[in-house]
Amino acid sequence: MLVIAIDSPVSVSSGVRRWSCDGGTTFGRGRTAGAVADSAGETRAGAVAEIGDPPTTNATASSPLKTWLPRRITVAFRAEVSRLNANRWGLFRGCLIQWCIVSNQPSLSQLQRAAVRELLRVAPVIDEVGRRFAAAGHEIALVGGPVRDLLLGRLSNDLDFATSARPDQIETCLVGWVDARWDMGRNYGTIGARVGEWDLEITTYRSDSYNGASRKPAVSFGDDLEGDLRRRDFAINAMALVLPERRFVDPFGGMDDLVNELLRTPSAPATSFGDDPLRMLRAARFVAQLGFGVTPEGVGAMRELADHIDIVSAERVRDELVKLLLARAPRLGLGLLVETGLAGHVLPELPALQLEVDEHHRHKDVYEHSLTVLEQAITLEDRLDGGGPDLVTRLAALLHDIGKPRTRRFSDDGSVTFHHHDVVGAKMATKRMKALRFPNDVTADVSRLVELHLRFHGYGSGEWTDSAVRRYVRDAGPLLDRLHVLTRADCTTRNARKADRLRRTYDDLEKRIDRLLVEEELASMRPDLDGRQIMDVLGIAPGPLVGKAYDFLLERRIEEGPLGAERARAELLSWWASAETGGAAP
């Protein structure tokens, strides 16, 4: 397969050989030139021609193909290129070739279209990088994730390069061009830079060796691109675009793996995962992000080497789990972690949810329920002010029932209970998240949501008083919107009537909350007197008594709504007098 992008006006007829379409029609010079050129025989800058899947199998002058082409920047038709060498097009690259791939996979056209679109966007930057390093006598290539994402049509502004240049030489090549430059790890050969909207990470070719006791390799610089690609985690991340000629390099079949949606290591999986066990978590993360599958050999190696993940720092484990949870399909990645035994080392509370089902089926499959709650919470994230993905909400959804295994009890009648699993689960969530070095605020928020996730079930059919609603809002605090999402997501019953009743009941609660928020400024609920006023009324100095008086007034505010300054003063004095006469200790 060959993809061509036109980046400047030029006649292309002289560069075309023979191409045949599925229907057998042969394209000579003129026909092919007509396919990529306008009526004057000249291309427009930025036009794209792809030789991929045709919209029709008949390419006669009166066919739909001819009328289809002018309406599309991207045109596609299948070509026989088995006898062509991509490098034969080198003399046209300056004005004609923007992207060139040779493969026998007819299903690549979608990837190729995505690649061309992304390449046209990033071309000015990578071309300049290529020119600068080539002028200095160095090899350089766009590598890894950016090449993968370019083919998937999801290129970010982070660009990774590999080069034969050493760190000092890298810096020399960037002088006078980049907006900023920094040292990202000179011992590892990496220099960072920023050019406009693009962040560049340029690393000297490397050859890593591992000793098995640590995932940190002994690094030595190399001079070979293929050797550098071999040390990558998966074949889809071991592709490169050599610059400035834009030659596509794929020594380990990463393109085929993209087409087949497969994660495969360049070397034997046991060797790759043994060298760096974090790659096993990265496999689960890519499964969640891309929806790809891992080869059977890879899954087997993950099972065999699961305990090797223990040598990886908690911070690195946490970072991969966060990326997995924020992906489009975290259930897939989490399922792989559980299946291979990795979850037992990094998040043991998750496989522990796979409780044996009681013979009377009187409780849900807690593991599947938790994953479903996570999925449903994701669909509700648009209710949050910041939208999604939202890490706190997703963590709370995943962990909300982790207290159930410890609190499960069987009654004499065979029923199953999980009393106080919300409180127990909140403590367990705190402990696990601290072990994984999550920030304190994230840990506190997730733990609080786990603790509150059952509160709504006391609402019944709307029996709560206004004071109970105020208390619900007060206890949730800034997490109220997330608690709304978690509570709604926690309904996984297959009974449509019950699900509808729960949904309508929570709708009613939210309406009551919204009404009180407007009427009483509930979002900023505080006593009717502040600390200074309390001290003036009671004639006391700053200290613990002020806090107790404040809490008393806040409790009255929750129970009765706004009191007003005069009534609050009277109730405060009454409380104080009762305390002084022994009626209640302040």
- Summarize pLDDT for 26-66 with one digit per residue, the tens: 223 333 323 333 333 333 333 333 333 333 333 333 333 22
- Give the integer Cα–Cα distance in Å for 67 and 71: 8
Confidence band, pLDDT 50/70/90 cuts, at residue 251: very high
Half-sphere exposure of residue 284: CA atoms within 13 angstroms, side-chain side: 32
Query: Is the pLDDT at 4 greater than 50, yes or no?
Result: no
State both tokens at 44. 């427009």
Is pLDDT of 274 > 70? Answer: yes
Query: Which residue has 């050999």 as its token pair?
Result: 297
Q: What are phi and psi of 417, to 5 degrees?
A: -125, 155
Per residue in 297-329, pLDDT (tens digit) is 999 999 999 999 999 999 999 999 999 999 999
Q: How confident is the model at residue 186 (pLDDT cuts 50, 70, 90)?
A: confident
Name the residue with higher pLDDT: 197 or 188. 197
In the predicted model, what is the mean pLDDT of the chain?
A: 79
The mean per-residue pLDDT over the stretch 234-246 comes to 95
CA-based torsion, 164, 168, 171, 172: positive or negative: negative
Give the rounded percent of residues in the chain with a pLDDT score beyond 70: 75
* 518: helix, strand or coil: helix
Residue with the bigger pLDDT between 207 and 21: it is 207
- State the DSSP string of 8-57: S----GGG---EE-TT-PEE-HHHHHHHHS-TTS-PPTT-EEEES--S-S
- pLDDT, residue 226, reads 94
- Name the more confident of 209 and 447: 447
Could you write out the DSSP letters of every residue in 385-443?
TT-S--HHHHHHHHHTTTTHHHH-EE-TTS-EE-TTHHHHHHHHHHHHHHHTT--HHHH
The dihedral sign for the CA sequence 183, 186, 188, 194: positive
- In terms of Cα–Cα distance, which of 517, 505, 425 is closest to 480? 517
Using alpha carbons, list the distances in angstroms from residue 364 to 395, 457, 493, 498, 539: 20, 17, 9, 15, 58
- Number of residues assigned to the chain: 586
The mean pLDDT of 522-546, rounded to a whole number, is 82
Q: What is the pTM of this model?
A: 0.74
pLDDT of 24 > 70? The answer is no
Three-state SS for 559? helix
* Residue 235, pLDDT above cutoff 90: yes
Query: All domains of the chain, ordered by start, with CATH?
Result: 1-102 (no CATH), 108-260 (3.30.460.10), 268-346 (1.10.110.30), 360-524 (1.10.3210), 531-580 (no CATH)
The beta-strand segments (E) located in 144-276 are 158-163, 180-185, 190-195, 198-204, 206-209, 218-221, 240-243, 247-249, 262-263
Q: Which residues contact 235 (CB under 8 A, 6 or more apart)?
A: 252, 253, 254, 257, 264, 265, 266
